[in-house]
Structure 1
Amino acid sequence: MAEVDLSVQRYSAEVIAHRHAHHQLVLPVEGALSLSVGGRELRAAGLSGVLVPGEARHAFAAPDPNRFLVIDVPLAAAESLGAAPWIERAAGGPIALDGAAALLVRAAAVELDAGGSAALRRQWAGLLVLTLAERAARAPGREPAKLGRALRYIEEHAHEPLTVAEVAARAELSPGHLHHLFRAVLGTTVQERVAELRLARATELLSRTDLGIAEIALRCGYADQSCLTRSLRRRHGVTPAALRRAARAARPAGPGRGGG
């Protein structure tokens, strides 16, 4: 029987297009990947992955250094795991990662970098697929689609002032219902999700560009540089300048290439 498998991939700026029979989860570890899946433009970065459906032609490219966890999920394996209904619903769209799921992704990447065996790769792949599927299953009926709309709106507008009422209106939910859905499915709140995305984008810009810290703060939705500094110090215990120095010291000589 076909089984799930897991790999760490690095993508280049060259646009590559292909298709494969299995479903594929593309989950960010660092950097950003632009994808076109069945004519839909998607982005895997920060707390958003992408689920590429089997047999779907897709193109992808990443101009900057990056690293992604890629899970190949044959249909038989999805059915064996009990994840086939979720994959059918979510295929071709973004996959939201909460803080716990993002930590699992990073932990799996560390294990693979250390030379994990094929058996260990399959165990990690199954755990990640089940984690994402079961979190999505906590939202009954049509609510996964509404939650997806809310997450996409937050992803696209996190750099702007956002209110819970505004996001709820886009998802066609009441603010209270949206809050409940975020808590039940993602274990977080709308405000926390916005804060996580802003910080993830600021961290990426600090690590990969030479933009001024004040400009990065404004681009990512912070009122000023001091707000970014407080947020980064509270979450990671470092200042923007210290994070930038560490990223430059660890930066590889050039971007890598990978498959999708």
Structure 2
Amino acid sequence: MTVSIRRYERLPGQHIHSFDQIVLPFAGTMDIEIGSRGGKVDAGHGALIAAGQRHVFHAEPGDRFIVVDMDDIAIVPERGAFFPIPSAIAHLLGYVRARQDNSAQHSDLHVPLPDMFARPWATLLVDALFGLETSPVDSGGRAIARAFKFMRANLEKRCTTAEIAAAAGLGERRLHALFHARFGSTPREELMRLRLDFARALLCSTSLPIAEIAVMSGHADQSALTRRMRDVRGITPAVARRIASA
């Protein structure tokens, strides 16, 4: 888990990464599209970006944002969401601002905060975000988050719905009901989505062979990944990689 203050160039940026991310305002406004959802990160709003979710953004060069890379824990059970910033989180943001020299114009694009400070601060942030009634995660969200954490940790394995339910601390029927209410899909369908998201993230960010990526993302072989991605996403792995490198 890392916390940093980041600036972005004037031109719009397009990112995809293999970990969940929280983006919060520091100074300025960011227009961002997460998947097909558009919104802003500004004084009153933050953004949750799920692993493997393509996002496009634009901010002015002088604008800065607090970015939390959740590279060692999965916390976002949605495909991406925007949320209002309540007072508990506003106080945490104010604390970071107070520690920084706001009179200085930092030229660095990426200023990491010391791990000694960043990790406990980020833990408080996650607790505040996912424990509030205004959070995108409802009372069943923590169980769903546990299910997603288990699935992401076992993408390459043949895990069953019963195993996913056990990891979430639920029975299979309750797990199905929560997933249907939240996503309109089944746990198996969401697992397939995660596998495709992970495969695409690897295709776009690494030079690993497609056959190796197929196995790492839980597909039997390269042909299975190609069929699944073409049927569900309308694109092949080779084309996805070519578009990302263009």
Question: What TM bracket, shorter-length normalisation?
Answer: 0.5 to 0.7
Of the structure 1 ranges 229-238 and 22-31, higher mean CA displacement relative to structure 2 is found in 22-31
1:54 is paired with a residue of what secondary structure?
helix
Write out aligned runs for 1:1-260 (5 A). Answer: 24-27=46-49, 29-30=53-54, 35=69, 41=73, 47=79, 53-56=89-92, 91-93=128-130, 133=136, 136=137, 142-249=139-246
| Aligned residue type for 1:143 | G
Aligned-pair CA distance for 1:197: 0.7
Runs of 5+ consecutive residues of structure 2 not aligned to the other structure: 1-11, 16-23, 27-42, 56-66, 97-108, 111-124
Closer/same/farther in 2, CA of residues 245 and 218 from structure 1, 3 Å limit: same
Contact 1:183 1:189 in 2 (8 A): yes
Contact 1:150 1:170 in 2 (8 A): yes
Closer/same/farther in 2, CA of residues 43 and 214 from structure 1, 3 Å limit: farther
Aligned-pair CA distance for 1:41: 4.8
Contact 2:143 2:169 in 1 (8 A): yes
Cα distance in 2 between the residues matched to 1:157 and 1:49: 24
Runs of 5+ consecutive residues of structure 1 not aligned to the other structure: 1-7, 12-17, 64-87, 95-129, 250-260
Identity %: 30
1:182 is paired with a residue of what secondary structure?
helix
Contact 2:75 2:145 in 1 (8 A): no
State the TM-score, normalized to the length of structure 2. Answer: 0.53
2:91 is paired with a residue of what secondary structure?
coil
Bigger relative CO (Cα 8 Å, ≥ 6 apart) = 1
Greater share of helix: 1
Closer/same/farther in 2, CA of residues 145 and 190 from structure 1, 3 Å limit: same
Contact 2:180 2:186 in 1 (8 A): yes
Aligned-pair CA distance for 1:233: 0.8
Cα RMSD after superposing both structures: 4.2
